[in-house]
Structures are given as C-alpha cells and as structure tokens.
C-alpha cells in the first residue's frame, strides 16, 4: 500500500531506500551508517541491500566526509551525508561554508553541488555534551545553503526526497527527539514545495510559528489554550532558509499576533529574522509585539537540567498570554 503509518526514523529510511533505488548516482556516507545502520538506525539494512559502494562507512572525520562528498558531487554523484550528532558538525563547518555553499556562485552557475547533509539535532534525549545542539541559525545565515527540518513522518519522507533531487546543497535537520513519533505517510502523494510552510492547526487569535521538534509542542499548547477559549493557529515553517514569509504574513494578518518558538537560543536565532521581517510586513496589522520563545543564551546544559533550558508548554503558553494581554 502507498499509505502507511511510519515513525520519522522509518520514513527517512524508506526515503533513502527510494532514492537509492531510483538514482544510481545517490550515495550515503557517514560514520557507522553501514553495518550498524547508524546510531539511531536510520540507515538500517541499506548497506546490506545496496552494497558498500553505495552505503559507505567513513572514518571519524567530519571534514573529510564532507570534503569527499563535495568531490563526488563535482563528478556527478548525489551524496547524502550523515553527521552522527548535531555537535559533531563543526569540524566540517569550514568545508560546508567555504566550499559547499560557495562553489556554485564561484563557478558562475556552471557547477552544481547536489549534496544533502543530514543532521540529527535538538535536545530532550538525556544525552551528554555535544549531542543536543540546535545549530540551524549558523547554517541558515550562510548564502548558498538551504536548510529544512520536518516535524512529522510524511514530511520527513517527502522533504528528503526533494532535498536529494535538488541541485543545491541542503542541510536536512532531523528532530531526534521526535524520531519515533508516528504518522501517516503516502509514498505516492504529490508533495508541495520543499520550502513552503504548512498550517498544522487553524486558529484566529494568535499564530504560533515553529519548525522541527517544536511543532508538536506548539500543537499541544494550542490544544491547552483551546480549553481556556483561545484559538491558536500553528504554522509549521518546515524551512529555515529560505523562509516562507508570505505564509507567515498571511497567518499574522488573520490572527494579528505572532509567537515564534524554537529550541535554539533566542539571541540571534531564526526567530529574530522572522520577528524583524514580520514587523516590517505586518506593522499595521499587529496588535502586540512579535514574541520569541527558545533556549537561553548559554551552552546546552547537562541532561539533568535540560528540562529547565528547553522551551516547553508552560513557556509557550506564558508568551501566548503576554501577547494576548495587549
């Protein structure tokens, strides 16, 4: 059957399998992606079925992994790179920012680099240091990179398909705390545009905008607010670069209030750009300041303190109450 209920892990695995079957130029590379199937088992069974030349276990060297992927892309391949954990990507940041993001412009459009870099990101899994980062703003700030994050299994399947088919480099952020959330996936559905936002819940009093792991938190906040007679619209942004400002504007013109939620620190985060743009676009529609809810401007804490650091239901609802008080 084309439609079935899958976890995000299984949806990404199915999407990678489809890409490997469809295009012989697609390769998967990363630490332990082969025999082990990845630390989260996202690539489980793929090396067994497609061989070590298509699903490649690499050395523990992120810069070398991304550098090799760039070289393969220059020769016509479509590498899909797995960075094992969010905090491990920084040794490869130089390759990503100075080479991957700039090669197309440097070659005046004559060279394409269709590389996808998959990064499990975010906290709330009780992990040790360097395993719970949310570095998306560092990549979204770089011209030449596209950055996306699914919040559910259906988007995980289709957005990864679209990212692999794109001729531009795409940073694909996977919300690891939601890996085992299940939803219906139709593998024959015609997907919408990769960078288009999606209205996850209709509302009239205020818009909650989020992406990745925080979409579920915002939906829970909207359900809780409904019990108090408040109607909240939840917008799943899906893309951090480019951002679908038209969809946000349309929602805010309806609800007249906006709260942006992400796990990453609020200071200079993705929400800062959204707040500035929507204030410019919707100045005469807004009835309250655009508010942001996110992590604190501090290094990610030990796991026993992460519940205090991460934005949860109470902090989202507090921002909703403040916005509605105007």
Show which residues are catalytic.
131
CA atoms within 13 A on the CB side of 166: 23
Q: Where in 187-278 does DSSP place strands (E)?
A: 198-201, 206-210, 232-236, 239-241, 258-265
* Buried-exposed string 137-148: b where 16+ CB fall within 10 A, e elsewhere: bbbbebebbbbb
Residue that the structure tokens 């998967």 belong to: 28
Residue burial 58-88, b: 16+ Cβ < 10 Å; e: rest:
beeebeebbbbbbebbeeebbbbbbbbbbbb
What is the DSSP secondary structure assignment for residue 86, as one 8-state letter?
G
Q: In this structure, is the dihedral angle defined by the CA atoms of residues 25, 4, 200 and 262, taken in order, positive or negative?
A: negative
């Amino acid at each position: 059957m084309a439609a079935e209920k899958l976890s995000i892990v299984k949806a990404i695995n199915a999407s990678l399998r489809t890409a490997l079957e469809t295009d012989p130029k697609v390769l998967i590379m990363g630490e332990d992606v082969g025999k082990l199937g990845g630390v989260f088992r996202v690539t489980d069974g793929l090396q067994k079925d497609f061989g070590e030349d298509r699903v490649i276990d690499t050395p523990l060297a992120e810069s070398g992994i991304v550098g090799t992927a760039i070289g393969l892309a220059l020769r016509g391949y479509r590498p899909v790179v797995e960075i094992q954990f969010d905090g491990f990507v920084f040794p490869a940041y130089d390759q990503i920012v100075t080479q991957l993001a700039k090669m197309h412009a440097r070659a005046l459009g004559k060279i394409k680099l269709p590389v996808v870099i998959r990064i499990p990101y975010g906290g709330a899994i009780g992990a040790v240091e360097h395993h719970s980062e949310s570095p998306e703003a560092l990549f979204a700030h770089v011209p030449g990179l596209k950055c996306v994050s699914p919040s559910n299994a259906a988007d995980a399947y289709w957005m990864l398909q679209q990212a692999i088919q794109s001729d531009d480099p795409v940073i694909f952020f996977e919300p690891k705390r939601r890996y085992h959330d299940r939803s219906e996936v139709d593998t024959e559905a015609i997907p919408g545009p990769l960078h288009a936002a999606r209205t996850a819940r209709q509302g009239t009093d205020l818009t909650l905008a989020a992406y990745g792991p925080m979409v579920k938190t915002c939906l829970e906040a909207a359900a809780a607010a409904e019990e108090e007679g408040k109607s909240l619209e939840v917008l799943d942004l899906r893309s951090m670069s480019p951002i679908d400002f038209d969809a946000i504007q349309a929602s805010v013109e309806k609800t007249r209030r906006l709260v942006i939620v992400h796990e990453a620190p609020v200071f200079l985060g993705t929400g800062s750009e959204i707040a500035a743009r929507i204030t410019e676009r919707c100045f005469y529609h807004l009835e309250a300041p655009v508010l942001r809810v996110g992590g604190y401007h501090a290094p990610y804490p030990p796991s026993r303190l992460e519940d205090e650091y991460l934005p949860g239901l109470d902090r989202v609802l507090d921002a909703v109450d403040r916005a509605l008080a105007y």
